[in-house]
Amino acid sequence: MGDDLLRAERDARRFLGRQRQRLVARIGVQGLRPAQDGGQCLQGEITRPVDLDTIPLYVRAGAIVPTGPVKQYTAEAVDGPLEILVFPGTDGSHLRYEDDGASFRYRSGEWMGIRMAWNDRRQTLTLRLAPGSKMLPPARREIVVKSSAASKQAVFDGHPLEVALR
């Protein structure tokens, strides 16, 4: 699932006596963290029991994962902030791309790219417009930057923004 997320494959076994289900996730990892809690960095092979409703998801150290608010369609207006999840452990970067989702105007420059860069030593996330892009409405974007250790709110308006999470 991209460069930063890993969905673990599962082996299913059914124990007929009590109709219990046991799934075991086995993956070889290098510098991954459990996505659910941003826990400690993992190395080697992971074997862990999971229930049928769980899909083990791991995130690469240094990953920047924008989430929400949920949209049902591209033109839907949303009033919640953009959440940006940062998984410390090493430096990382991400480009968030947006356009109107309905036309070819991106070809004539009607698109917005937000370049995000995580500096692990300084525990800061820097946001800036990507070269060749411009700020699209709304002109001020509320964001919440989260890691396992901290959470900060800020507003991105197209000018470079640095959010410290220490």
Let me know whether 53 and 81 are in one domain: no
Q: What amino acid is encoded at 105 in this protein?
A: R
Let me know whether 50 and 70 are in one domain: no
Structure tokens at 23: 């799934």
For residue 111, the domain's CATH number is 2.60.40.1180
Indicate the residue among 20, 37, 60 that finishes a domain. 60
Let me know whether 89 and 158 are in one domain: yes
| CB proximity list for 106: less than 8 A, separation 6 or greater | 99, 100
Flag residues of the chain having pLDDT under 70. 1, 8-54
54, 35 Cβ separation under 8 angstroms: no
> What's residue 22's pLDDT?
40
> What's residue 58's pLDDT?
77
Number of domains in the chain: 2
Let me know whether 93 and 44 are in one domain: no
Q: Is 81 helix (H, G, I), strand (E, B) or coil?
A: coil
Domain with 43, as residue range(s), is 5-60
> What's residue 111's pLDDT?
95
Let me know whether 78 and 43 are in one domain: no
Structure tokens at 111: 């698109």
> What's residue 140's pLDDT?
92
| pTM (two decimals) | 0.78
